[in-house]
């Protein structure tokens, strides 16, 4: 009986820890890094060469560890706010003591720095700055008007810059892809602020909805939506992105459909729906990288056999 109780306690704490580090988000970024390295950033290399490069795997693991640490420190500073905005999820995450979370935080950040340093001193320095930037965002910047949204979107795309450093490749198409992703992430952060308005207001976070109101926030969202059409049009019109053009055409339609939805939204669950749609756009976009040149990709994958 005691063994069963101990196992249940262990299982709850494990689920709490996985919730704290946002395992789903970490996994999506890791997959995106791998696919970007194979099909966008280093297309001149064979799939086998890239997959057998242990330094690439060190970069991906280091990025995952640093991102997990970022979620932990963010949860630590947002605990009181999250008790208001998402009480059930926060109560689950509170099953792990703060001392344990601090231990995990320093451990994963240490892993990120050490693995990055093994790749190169530049990669080690990159992860050191990235870890510091995530702490600064969680501790200070996210409470500052506009700075929080901007920094959150930048931190989300930053793990891909270490791949540019490693492969020393930077194509214009990558810049446009990055601009599209940055705008989508900015929209997601704005929607998160709208759904977390009660907690942000109670804890004196100076977000756009708190300071400028919901109407202005929706105007900003509309502006970002229209701005996102620009990189979509540029990618479809001026770059050879193969079947991925259908993904971008579909996304343009989805974003325009979301506009009347956000203007009619008044309750948290309605904002959660839009947040979910934006998360799906990002997740599907990761795997749509495979559509850039599907016949060539299938041919390249044969090199693994």
What tens digit of pLDDT does each residue of 227-266 get?
A: 999 999 998 888 877 778 888 888 888 888 889 988 988 8
Region of poorest pLDDT, from 171-175, 176-180, 181-185, 298-302: 298-302
Burial 260-289 (b: 16+ CB within 10 A, else e): eebeebeebeebbbbbebbbebbeebbebb
Q: What is the DSSP letter of 144?
A: S
User: Which pLDDT does position 126 carry in this prediction?
Assistant: 94
Tell whether the model's pLDDT for residue 2 goes beyond 60.
Answer: no
pTM (two decimals) = 0.84
Taking only the tens place, the pLDDT of each residue in 42-93 is 777 777 888 899 999 999 999 999 999 888 888 877 777 766 766 655 555 5
Which of 129, 127, 131 shows the shortest CA–CA distance to 58? 127
Confidence band, pLDDT 50/70/90 cuts, at residue 305: low
């Amino acid at each position: 009986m005691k063994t069963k109780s101990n196992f249940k306690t262990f299982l709850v704490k494990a689920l709490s820890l996985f919730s704290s580090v946002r395992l789903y988000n970490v996994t999506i970024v890791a997959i995106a890094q791998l696919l970007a390295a194979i099909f966008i950033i280093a297309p001149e290399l064979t799939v086998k060469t890239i997959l057998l490069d242990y330094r690439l795997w060190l970069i991906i693991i280091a990025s995952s560890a640093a991102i997990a640490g970022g979620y932990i420190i963010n949860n630590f500073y947002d605990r009181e706010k999250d008790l208001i905005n998402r009480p059930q999820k926060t109560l689950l995450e509170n099953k792990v003591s703060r001392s344990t979370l601090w231990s995990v935080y320093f451990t994963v950040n240490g892993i990120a720095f050490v693995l990055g340093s093994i790749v190169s001193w530049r990669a080690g320095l990159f992860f050191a700055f990235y870890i510091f930037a995530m702490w600064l965002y969680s501790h200070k910047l996210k409470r500052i008007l506009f700075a929080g949204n901007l920094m959150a979107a930048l931190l989300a795309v930053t793990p891909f810059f270490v791949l540019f450093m490693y492969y020393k490749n930077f194509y214009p198409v990558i810049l446009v892809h990055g601009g599209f992703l940055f705008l989508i992430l900015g929209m997601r952060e704005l929607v998160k602020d709208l759904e977390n308005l009660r907690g942000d207001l109670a804890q004196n976070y100076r977000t756009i909805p708190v300071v400028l109101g919901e109407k202005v926030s929706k105007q900003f969202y509309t502006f970002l939506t229209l701005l996102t059409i620009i990189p979509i049009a540029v990618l479809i019109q001026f770059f050879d992105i193969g079947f991925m053009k259908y993904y971008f055409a579909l996304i343009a339609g989805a974003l325009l459909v979301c506009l009347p939805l956000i203007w009619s939204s008044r309750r948290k669950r309605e904002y959660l729906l839009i947040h979910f749609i934006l998360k799906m756009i990002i997740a599907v976009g990761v795997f749509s990288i495979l559509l850039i040149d599907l016949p060539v990709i299938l041919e390249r994958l044969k090199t693994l056999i």
